[in-house]
Structure 1
Amino acid sequence: MEKIASFQVDHDTLKKGMYISRIDGDIITYDLRFKVPNAGDYLDNAAIHTFEHLFATYVRNTAFSDKIIYFGPMGCRTGFYFITRGLPHETAIDLTRKALQFVLDFEGTIPGSARSECGNYLNHDLVGAQREAGIYLDVMRQVTPASLRY
């Protein structure tokens, strides 16, 4: 079997940041790398879950909702994949920053966190999601379209 593209990235040199993981026509998969791989510091499952609910809800409620394909966590718990269609890199960066600020400022009931809406509704951590959003927002301040390459 062929090795998929994401397994060909040297995870020993990968740093926190936002990267283009792959481009398939007008579909772009971004690697939102919150943690340095294999460094012993990983995202907590409950914080990941809450962050996913909030980020996905935010981006799907913007003027770009029809350009959002998917947002979800990496199994290694070092970040997320953000998949867009026909969205310029500058817009994806800006949207990511705005979604992070939304997570940081969020108060109230987590969207989609009722038992009837979620398969693991008790596994949420808003404080943890906000902590990670704040750390990653500092990383995102340095991201430009030119820095999106691995």
Structure 2
Amino acid sequence: MKRIASFEVNHNILERGMYTSRIDGDAVTYDIRMRRPNKEPVISNAAIHTIEHLFATFVRNSEYAQGIIYFGPMGCRTGFYFIVRDSISPDTAIKLAHDAFKFIAEYEGEIPGATEIECGNFREHSLEEAKKEAADFYPVLENWTAEMLKYKE
């Protein structure tokens, strides 16, 4: 079988940040890498789950909601995929991600969509861990630019 594009990325040199993973028609997939693969501990499932709920809620309530396709975790637990329409510029996607993580870092209150009726695994959330992860990561994106979205080779 042919190797998929994400397996072509050299994970030994991949740093924390945001990268363009692929473009399919008008859908742009961003790799939001919160951990250096195989060098740092992975993110806990509870933190990932809470980040997923809060990030998705934030971006789907932004002025760019119509251009948001998906936000979800990577199986390796080192980051997330953020898929948007190409109507959202790379600079705007970076700002949205930065602002979403800052929102999570400062969030107080109930986790959106985290009741038994709304969520398939409502018991596995940690707002405390999600806030810590987000507070550690959003500064990485503070000065990120569209030119930095390309994977290093």
- The 5 Å alignment of 1:1-150 reads 1-86=1-86, 87-150=88-151
SS at match of 1:134: helix
1:95 Cα deviation after fit: 0.7
State the 1:142 CA deviation: 3.0
Tell me the distance in 1 between the aligned counterparts of 2:61 and 2:106: 16
Instruction: State the TM-score, normalizing by the size of structure 1.
Output: 0.98
Per-residue deviation, 1:98: 1.1
> Equivalent residue of 2:42, what SS?
coil
* AA aligned opposite 1:79: G
Measure the CA separation in 2 of the matches of 1:104 and 1:138. Answer: 11
Alignment partner of 1:29: what SS?
strand
Give the drift of 1:97.
1.1
Which ranges of structure 1 fall in alignment gaps of 5 or more residues? none
CA shift, 1:141, in A, is 1.6
Q: List, as ranges, runs of 4+ consecutive aligned residues in structure 1 with deviation greater than 2 Å.
A: none
Measured in 1, the distance between the counterparts of 2:61 and 2:139 equals: 24
Q: Residues of 2 paired with 1:110 and 1:57: CA distance? A: 10
Question: What root-mean-square deviation, in Å, do the aligned CA atoms of Structure 1 and Structure 2 show?
Answer: 0.8
Aligned residues: 150
Letter in 2 for 1:143: W
Identity percentage of aligned residues: 53
TM-score w.r.t. length of structure 2:
0.96
123-132 or 133-142: which moved more? Answer: 133-142
Tell me the distance in 2 between the aligned counterparts of 1:109 and 1:141: 27
